[in-house]
A and B are shown apart, each in its own frame.
Chain A
């Protein structure tokens, strides 16, 4: 259809959403376990920063988490909008911007607690 992503792109978007969903499932489990573990003795900013500052492992983990969100969310929103009748190049560009915004905000937050 004119003005819509071609079939190949549509399939790849679907694949990207599936793979990002798998990554998200894993990330959410790790994060939930970490929350439960971390709040045992109350929660303080100092404690969180003590764990994350200079940590390549936590930095890498949350950078991946953000990437998965930035891929997954816009594709899902695009699907929902398509079913509400909003389709086409304009929506696709808007969704790309949404993904980039999520990635920027997320990575900025990760940088703030790791650096």
Chain B
């Protein structure tokens, strides 16, 4: 373990350049620790986002040595080849400044994919009984832990090629609702996720599945959506 890390950090917005810093190498150091050290000790003008520091909030995702990751849960020892780090903002999102991206479009796409639950009951009704072992509930469980960090969206090449593509996170969210037996907006949702800008644009590259820090497979959900949408289309519902 070298005494110092050589760290390149993106400075600027869409146009900008990497700036190099030297940061003391510590035991059990995370990439977020490195960024925080730079901002607190070397250059207070550095912009970046974080909140919980323990992998709960999903706000500290960045591109570390070319790979989108949560910086708080990434140990330097795991990624710093030859004690070098290159830290950039997430891909496929407009850069506001330095390491902070504009995530509006990412979340707008969740809304476009009908990522909101639409129920039909009131608080006066009984709780809906959903059996934990039912097929639908198991599918929901497989994808429900998403915290919207944007790592999958940043890793998806289809988003790069087709900027209007809804992306893995929004589609995976839609898939959890397609399997929510209480939801009553299924037809609208399937229509919203269908077609060239929706689930059918997915190439099954599995980058999202490979990179998701929560171990979710948006690819599997998207494959489920493709089948569900085709079925609904053949039935004339779309």
Interface of A with B (CB < 8 Å)? Answer: 4-5, 7-8, 10-12, 14-15, 79, 82-84
How distant is B204 from chain A, measured CB to nearest CB, in Å? 12
Main secondary structure of the interface of A (DSSP, over half): helix
* Residues of chain A within 8 A of B208, CB atoms compared: none
A28 vs B226: C-alpha distance when bound (angstroms):
26
Known contacts A82-B162, A83-B161, A83-B162; decide if A15 and B196 are in contact (CB<8 Å).
Answer: no
Known contacts A7-B194, A7-B195, A7-B238; decide if A14 and B162 are in contact (CB<8 Å).
Answer: no
Known contacts A15-B230, A15-B233; decide if A10 and B162 are in contact (CB<8 Å).
Answer: no
A3 vs B128: C-alpha distance when bound (angstroms):
44
**Is B162 in contact with A11, judged by CB distance below 8 angstroms?**
no
For chain B, which range describes its interface: under 10, 10 to 19, 20 to 34, or 35 or more residues? 10 to 19
* Residues of chain A within 8 A of B198, CB atoms compared: 7
B229 touches A (CB below 8 Å): yes
A84 vs B162: C-alpha distance when bound (angstroms):
8
**Is A10 in contact with B161, judged by CB distance below 8 angstroms?**
no
21 residue pairs A–B, Cβ–Cβ below 8 Å: A4-B196, A7-B191, A7-B194, A7-B198, A7-B238, A10-B194, A10-B195, A10-B196, A11-B200, A11-B229, A12-B233, A14-B200, A14-B230, A15-B230, A15-B233, A15-B234, A79-B196, A82-B196, A83-B158, A83-B161, A83-B162
